[in-house]
């Protein structure tokens, strides 16, 4: 099976408990970000929302809350959703809390971080707000660390 067909087959549970599929986003770029509410990079929610709005016709941002880095996402799904909406006006999809590393790593992160699955590159998630850009066809385009501003040309320059 080709790596791009694999990406669009990955399922996740959204922050409200509904089952979702990456297949919903076929035909659009997808920026996958592991997020946390109590991190020094939490302010990136604002440019992530701007990016989602600015490129709404061709890009979907999907946030995956994770509490694996110094307990910086301790809240419940309801608390996370409320925090994101109230403080940053987040309207892009958020998942339920997941693991982005280790033996309980979510399937989307297995695909994103393992070359044998994505066909391009392996990456370790070392902190919150790591970003992965996926093409409209489901192909892995690039990895961007926590320090990369979501509105940077490194990311926007790859959205055609």
Q: CA 141 → CA 20, 39, 120, distances in Å?
A: 22, 26, 8
- The model carries a pTM of 0.96
Look up the CATH architecture of domain 27-145: 3-Layer(aba) Sandwich (3.40)
Spatial CA neighbour of 134 closest among 56, 65, 59 = 59
Answer whether residue 4 shows pLDDT above 80.
no
The pLDDT-based confidence of 3 (bands split at 50, 70, 90) is low
Per-residue pLDDT reduced to its tens digit, 48-100: 999 999 999 999 999 999 999 999 999 999 999 999 999 999 999 999 999 99
* Positions marked active-site: 39
């Amino acid at each position: 099976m080709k790596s791009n067909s694999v990406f669009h087959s990955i399922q996740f549970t959204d922050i409200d408990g509904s089952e979702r599929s990456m297949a919903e986003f076929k035909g659009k770029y997808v920026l996958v970000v592991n997020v946390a509410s109590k991190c020094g990079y939490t302010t990136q929610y604002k440019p992530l929302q701007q990016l989602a709005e600015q490129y709404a016709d061709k890009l979907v941002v999907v946030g995956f809350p994770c509490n694996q880095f110094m307990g910086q996402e301790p809240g419940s799904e309801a608390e996370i959703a409320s925090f994101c909406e109230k403080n940053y006006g987040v309207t892009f999809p958020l998942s339920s809390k997941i693991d982005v590393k280790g033996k309980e790593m979510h399937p989307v992160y297995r695909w994103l971080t393992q070359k044998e699955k994505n066909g391009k590159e392996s990456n370790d998630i070392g902190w919150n707000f790591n970003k992965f850009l996926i093409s409209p066809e489901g192909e892995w385009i690039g990895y961007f660390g926590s320090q990369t501003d979501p509105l940077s040309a490194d990311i926007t320059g790859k959205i055609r």
